[in-house]
């Protein structure tokens, strides 16, 4: 958890710092490590952007639960790259222009299931305004939302994100249908 949170913060701050100035918001970040080095090693994700049924279900859930803050077309709040006077951030974009795709499946899942306050509880300096949805959305719902979000990504962003997930594998408990995991009802 600690290792994960640190990598999340690193990705978040580097993404935020470079996004405002560079055309490619992740150019600086990409140089830190190379997720393509294991290219070809398959990563199976419970969030599959090529599964039309899962993507459709996720789009509806996104509109209901996320769009009011992150935008109806995944565009984020206006000027989301700028930190606010109190050091917080506005809801970022989830498409290629954001940095959602920098994070592993596990980090993305935890962000939504737990919310930012819980995720960063060991880091009192970080004030997060991202709510937790653990009481509202099932695990299957959360993966469907990410299938939809991923469906907006370029092949390069998808491959980058698969690389991040490869370095931070999902425990079985996160995988619907796995032994110890929740039951999947979407996309079967
Ligand atoms: C009440 C507004 C609000 C709602 C609703 C909301 N978010 Fe957020 N979200 C935020 C804010 C603000 C941030 C910026 C970071 C922070 O404050 O932790 C954020 C950050 C995130 C991040 C981190 C992105 C990154 O690149 O670091 C993810 C992922 C995310 N939200 C996903 C979702 C999803 C999926 C939903 C719907 C289930 C959702 N959010 C609903 C406000 C919201």
Q: Cα(92) to centroid of ligand 1, in Å?
A: 7
| Domains defined for the chain, CATH in brackets | 2-33+48-173 (1.10.760.10)
Average pLDDT score over residue span 118-125: 93
Burial 87-125 (b: 16+ CB within 10 A, else e): eebbbbbbbbbbbbbbbbbbbbbbbbbbbbeebbeeeee
Q: What value does the mean pLDDT of the chain take?
A: 83
Mean pLDDT, range 84-105, rounded to an integer: 96
Q: Report how far residue 122's alpha carbon sits from residue 133's, in angstroms, rounded to the nearest whole number.
A: 20
Q: What's the CA-to-centroid distance between 42 and ligand 1, angstroms?
A: 28
Give per-residue pLDDT as tens, 136-183: 999 999 999 999 999 999 999 999 999 999 999 999 999 988 777 776
Which residues are paired to 89 by β-bridges?
Answer: 83
| Ligand 1 close to Cβ of residue 91 (< 6 A) | yes
Q: Which residue has the least CA distance to atom 14 on ligand 1?
A: 91
Question: Please, are residues 143 and 151 in contact by the beta-carbon 8 Å criterion?
Answer: no
Q: How confident is the model at residue 42 (pLDDT cuts 50, 70, 90)?
A: low
Distances (CA, A) of 11 to 98, 108, 120, 127, 140: 11, 12, 14, 16, 26
Mean pLDDT across 11-17: 43
> 16 C-alpha to center of ligand 1: Å?
14
Rounded mean pLDDT of 71-85?
Answer: 96
pLDDT at residue number 19: 39
- Asked if residue 59 has its Cβ within 6 Å of ligand 1, the reply is no
Kindly give the distance from the C-alpha atom of residue 5 to the centroid of ligand 1, in angstroms, as a whole number: 15
Q: Is 70 in the pocket of ligand 1 (CB under 6 A)?
A: yes
């Amino acid at each position: 958890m600690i290792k994960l949170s640190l990598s999340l913060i690193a990705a978040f701050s580097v993404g935020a710092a470079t996004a405002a100035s560079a055309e490619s918001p992740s150019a600086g970040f990409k140089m830190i490590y190379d997720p393509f080095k294991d290219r070809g090693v398959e990563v199976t994700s419970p969030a599959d952007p090529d599964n039309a049924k899962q993507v459709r279900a996720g789009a509806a859930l996104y509109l209901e639960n996320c769009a009011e803050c992150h935008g109806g077309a995944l565009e984020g709040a206006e000027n989301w790259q700028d930190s606010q006077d109190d050091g917080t951030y506005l809801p970022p974009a989830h498409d290629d222009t954001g940095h959602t795709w920098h994070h592993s499946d596990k980090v993305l899942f935890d962000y939504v299931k737990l919310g930012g306050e819980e995720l960063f509880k060991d880091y009192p300096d970080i004030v997060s305004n991202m709510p937790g949805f653990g009481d509202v959305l099932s695990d299957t719902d959360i993966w469907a939302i990410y299938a939809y979000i991923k469906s907006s990504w370029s092949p390069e962003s998808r491959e980058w994100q698969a690389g991040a997930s490869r370095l931070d594998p999902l425990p079985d408990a996160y995988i619907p249908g796995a032994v110890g995991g929740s039951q999947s009802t979407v996309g079967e």
